[in-house]
Structure 1
Amino acid sequence: MVFAFRLDPSLHSDEMDRLGCLLFVLLFSSLEVADGQGSKCSKPSLKNGYFVPEKDTYQHSSDITYACEKDYERRGEGWWGTSKCVNGTWSPEPVCKDKSDCFAPDVPNAKFRKLGTEKYLIECEAGYEIDNTTTSTILTCKDGEWSTGSCIKSATSCGAPAFVSDAVIIHKYQDIFGDKQAVEYKCMDSYTLEGSIISVCEEGEWSPPPKCQFLKPTAAPRPVQPTPAADDRTDDAGRTKQPRTQPLEFCGTAPDLTNGLVSKLDESTLLIRCSIYYTREGPEHVFCLGNGKWSHQPNCLEPCMIAGTNPPKGVAPFTGIQYIEEGNRKLFYCHKRWPWGGFKYQHYYLDVGCYQGKLRFTECVKG
């Protein structure tokens, strides 16, 4: 399909530019993005600008095209911009600002603290520091431009922690780790950990990681004679026997497991898996028994949580959130006051455990 337009030559230049921009976006307003599975977006609030298509709500993955009024501008080049609905949020947010104002500052590997109108304090992320040769710690806006800001890799930062065979690292992914940041190692099933469970970044080097040794199988203990139960898994004399089972549909709706996942293992058996950091208490398998009832069902015990920005008394602040599974323990740096003032926690640790959903602490000791 071809469209032809004739512009009135009596229009002023500014009016023709705006009309041309509007005609362009109208050409594409009928193109709809396929309906996605994410959350919908509300109509954006665009001061000093206009957008198409204009609706009350937009499907996930939908696009809008927008332009700004005279004497206002958007981020980027050109007359028009696009923004996409991503899980209920417009990305990037459509904004039209005065040409003498600044957009929010954008400095890689940094976060900002607002000090006043168009003035921000730079705070570099862990593993980075202010480049003092080119950057001030305070950014200011003048004539629509920000003063120079840059965060560079610190000389005391570390790269990726050491790989340990048959182990996983309990920490969110990072390219760079700051001085004194630590990661925890956890061995796979059937392996035991030798050494410290944590490795610490110290002056650009990681402290030695642990090793995971395979556990040799031992002789199985003699079975204990169970007492009779009402779940159809013992005979009249109390002797164990294979559960008399039947297809799952005979027991009706599958058990509802809070903080876990129930899946079908075979025609009469369900497999139980708890969510990450939650600990299973009870059997891994649930059966549909001959009496039409489900066998004994497990629970998923909630972990303990420590927030790095507001840790318990005695625990040094850290980045992010740490979870401790029920019945397990983790080491944390101490927040220890020294006689000559200040706080120091290098090489001093607290052993923190999670028992019945509550934290338990040891004394601060040198590692």
Structure 2
Amino acid sequence: MLHLGISWKIYLGLTFLSCGRHHCVSASRYCDAPTLDGGYLVPEQDTYNHGTVLFYACENGLKPAVEGWWATTTCRDGKWSTRPQCIDVNNCIPLVLPHGKYHSSSEGWYMNGYTIRVTCDTGYMHRNWDATALCANGTWTSVPVCERSTQACNEPPQVPHGVIINQNPKQDVYASDTEVVYECEDGYNVQGQVKKSIFCIAGNWTTAPACVREIKPTPAGGGSTTSTEGRKPGSSNDGSEVGGRGNTGGGSSSQPDVTTVDRCGTAPIVPNGDIVERNQMFLKYQCASFYTRVGPRRVVCHSNGHWSKIPICKAAYCSVDTSERTQLKDVGVKFINSGEKVRLECVKLDHWLTNHYSVASCNNAEITFSRCCNWWELKWSTC
């Protein structure tokens, strides 16, 4: 009498039954000899054990559908790891393209004269605008190369007490226009908010946020503590603007004395700018990439508790919404650094046999576009 709680096996020829308490599973661990037209197998048998490596080669005028003049396949649990094939020497095997992909052939190979179009991964672009390869007499000609885009960014900057919540998994390269959203840990925020975005613009990230605790500064001379929350940077507690000349409280229009920066409390916030030097007597600001500073580089604290005039970081790049331009292919909003040129793909018309591009130029925050030109006109600068 068979006990139902015991696992048992019955071997029937080349197949075994693995039986548990409620059912049996049949699984062959042997492979039948594969069919190979125009070639030969070594060793040649009717069946092969699990784990057997089978070698094969092809007759004259043919070649394996993989790299090399001979190839292998392995028997794994009743199936061959790859299907042995011999193809005409003028046909092509699949390409290996780092950071690129193309339509896969169901046959596993491509006919002589076949053209593939390569799409580069996010953050990569075609070198010399070459996106196609042709199978010619068994060899791929003009193989596209996907190289890192000059507009792409590295890993986003690390923010203490913060994490990135919208990029999973991590990437080695981030395409231009990528948005990254930071979120601060509990007890910290970004200038009164919980989340803040930065963008990859022409190879650089916009200024990353700082996750900080709210600190209520103590006014000079002691007394009660006054919160600066909601106070406009560069203004007094009553909301009045603070310029290069302050009010001493006695009606005098003379410049107040400069004192240590801790007497003015929270440092002024300059949008798209960072403090790059914090001295006892001044703060030095620097604008982020693609922004130009207008105003003083240094900010000091006056004896009346007011900051001196703060700088402004003015945008020094252009943006174009391709969805609003009928001649351009819609790829969303593109950013272009001041003084740079970028090729934007045009809408493909029926009578155009090749892709056309418009050259967008950014100068002094003003953007201009060339007509749509083919690759030959762009190569010889006749566009």
Q: What is the TM-score with the length of structure 2 in the denominator?
A: 0.38
Q: What is the TM-score with the length of structure 1 in the denominator?
A: 0.40
